[in-house]
Structure 1
Amino acid sequence: MSIDGQIIPSRPIRVLSHRERIDWHRHDGHQLIYPRRGVLRVFTASGVWVVPPSQGVWIPAGTDHAHRACGTTEMRAILFAVEGPGPFFDHPSVLAFTPLLREAVTCLTGDVQSGGAALEAGTRGHLERVVLDLLRRVEAPQRFLPALADPRLREVVALLEDDPADRRTLAQLGTAVGASERTLSRLFREQAGMTFAQWRGQFRLHHALVLLAEGHQVTRIAGACGYASPSAFIGAFREAFGFTPGEYLRREPDLRL
């Protein structure tokens, strides 16, 4: 992984085409990112998140990060000064967005770009404080895949990224990378903080969210992510998120715009 640490300005609105990437960079201030439509993959040195329109991500000042769009994605971003009332998170965090929080972020990022009058300084400052206050109260969904340092684990990850439908066991994957099942199992617990089965479950759900954003059907997604059947995929999705893929799309109406 190459991280150049380039400092670039934060733009309030940026529309990314499908699979468009913003390479590694950082900001002088704390950044709050919200994909108003589409799905955004957010990469940091510690790992990767998949962020749909019901969520945002907090990036502390000076944190190297990169983005990749899944589907046409409208990315909104607010930069907060380091000497301000935040941050409330000292590490990158993905956060559930309430309707009020979505509207506040949209207002802060959409005034001049949409042709309307710019917010007065006092109004803007007050609204930014409202956003920060709302962020204190939202939950942080765990859809995170941690970065793995061991080269054998990274080989396993590369095999599955090349073919997410690969259903080989850890023992079979170990044979392919020259490591025992016992060794790989221990390394997953130590470096990922979870078992291989738990990690693969997270990995499959990440890939499923990306494919949903690209407009694929449930049957296609189930096979592409390595589930035994569409019903197995629907069951795993419901267990993780509390609703089916179809219900998820209805909750996220902007995913495929």
Structure 2
Amino acid sequence: MYTASAYREADLRVPKGAPFYFRYNHFEPETAVEPHTHPWGQLCRISLGLMEATVETHKLTAPAEYLIWVPANAPHSASIRQATDFISVYVAESLAERLPATGCLIAQTPLVRALFEDFAARRVSVMQDAWDLRQFELMIELLARAEHTDSYLPDSQDRQLEPILQAIRLDPADNTTLQAWAERVHSTERTLARRFQTELGMSFVQWRNRVRLLRALVWLKEDRSVQDIALALGYGTPSAFIAMFRKQVGFSPERYRRQMCGETERPTA
């Protein structure tokens, strides 16, 4: 297994007093980043697939549409299963204080993604002019206002939701409808739909799709066929599974498998 460095040299290269510092890497499949800390807050961005990180004792799983935020001096480690481009952004204290005090996932809006891609296209490492700073300040403001979540797959101790979540985790292929679940837990479909939004911040179907995606990623790594995975996850056809996968990850299961094996050209950051 390839193991990345603890970034001590990169930390030393950050100019003193810099408002931000970008690092660009390409990670090979099965990259493990050992526990380490930084004196600055850190935004972590991958170009595709999933990144798994532990910030202090909290485990975070982030698909490419989310950033992982790590506050200054918080011990953290990470693992990346597929080949991917990686951007690490160190954030000075004056700007980092706008972001959460604990590690979390932050959703990338289309504008945040465009700002990141502009920095990456110009290969900006440190501030070159006043516009760079204004652009970065805008990005931090957008991230401060964006969705923050502790988990890509949140949990709940709600007495009606808990048995549903547990059952789906054990059997992601379970196609029981929300209406049928409501009858089982002595509730109504409308009440359960509201509780999913209140407790988990998403719909019943969105939560179940995330469970299925995480299970699919494991099976793709084990080289199971897309058709087999689709059937095992309760889809009537592979195309329905592929459509869900594309919506969640941004590309097909087979492309994910190729990227995981490092068989395609590097995607642009």
TM-score (ref. length: structure 2): 0.56
Q: Which residue matches 2:176? A: none
Maintained 8 Å contact 1:143/1:206: no
Maintained 8 Å contact 1:108/1:127: no
1:130 alignment partner, one of 135, 138, 155: 138
Deviation sequence 1:147-201 (CA, Å, 0-9, x none): xxxxxxxxxxxxxxxxxx987xxxxxxxxxxxxxxxxxxxxxxxxx99xxx9xx7
* Shift in Å, 1:99: 2.0
* Shift in Å, 1:219: 3.5
Quick one: distance in 2 between partners of 1:102 and 1:118?
19
Maintained 8 Å contact 1:35/1:75: yes
* Shift in Å, 1:42: 1.7
Maintained 8 Å contact 2:213/2:245: no
* Shift in Å, 1:24: 1.0
Quick one: distance in 2 between partners of 1:139 and 1:214?
33
3-state SS of the aligned residue for 2:97?
coil
* Shift in Å, 1:134: 0.8
Are residues 60 and 119 of structure 1, via their aligned partners in 2, closer, same or farther at CA, if it must alter by over 3 Å?
A: closer
Quick one: distance in 1 between partners of 2:104 and 2:126?
29
Are residues 110 and 133 of structure 1, via their aligned partners in 2, closer, same or farther at CA, if it must alter by over 3 Å?
A: same
Q: Which residue matches 1:206? A: 214
Quick one: distance in 2 between partners of 1:213 and 1:134?
35
- Give the partner amino acid of 2:69: W
C-alpha RMSD of the superposition:
4.1
Maintained 8 Å contact 1:12/1:109: no
Quick one: distance in 2 between partners of 1:125 and 1:32?
16
Structure 2 gap segments, 5+ residues each: 1-5, 12-21, 156-168, 172-198, 260-266
Q: How does 1:49-198 map to 2 (within 5 A)?
A: 49-84=60-95, 86-112=97-123, 120-140=128-148, 142-144=151-153
Quick one: distance in 2 between partners of 1:91 and 1:233?
39
- Give the partner amino acid of 1:69: I
Quick one: distance in 2 between partners of 1:21 and 1:105?
24
Maintained 8 Å contact 2:33/2:79: yes
* Shift in Å, 1:230: 3.5
3-state SS of the aligned residue for 1:62?
coil
- Give the partner amino acid of 1:57: I
* Shift in Å, 1:104: 1.2
TM-score (ref. length: structure 1): 0.58
Q: Give the number of aligned pairs.
A: 193
Quick one: distance in 1 between partners of 2:222 and 2:246?
14
Q: Which residue matches 1:245? A: 245
Quick one: distance in 1 between partners of 2:24 and 2:223?
23
Structure 1 gap segments, 5+ residues each: 1-5, 147-164, 168-192
Maintained 8 Å contact 1:211/1:221: yes
Quick one: distance in 1 between partners of 2:64 and 2:112?
12
Maintained 8 Å contact 1:13/1:77: yes
Quick one: distance in 1 between partners of 2:57 and 2:238?
27
* Shift in Å, 1:125: 1.4
3-state SS of the aligned residue for 1:28?
coil
3-state SS of the aligned residue for 1:136?
helix
Quick one: distance in 2 between partners of 1:44 and 1:232?
38
3-state SS of the aligned residue for 1:37?
coil
3-state SS of the aligned residue for 2:47?
strand
Maintained 8 Å contact 1:31/1:61: yes
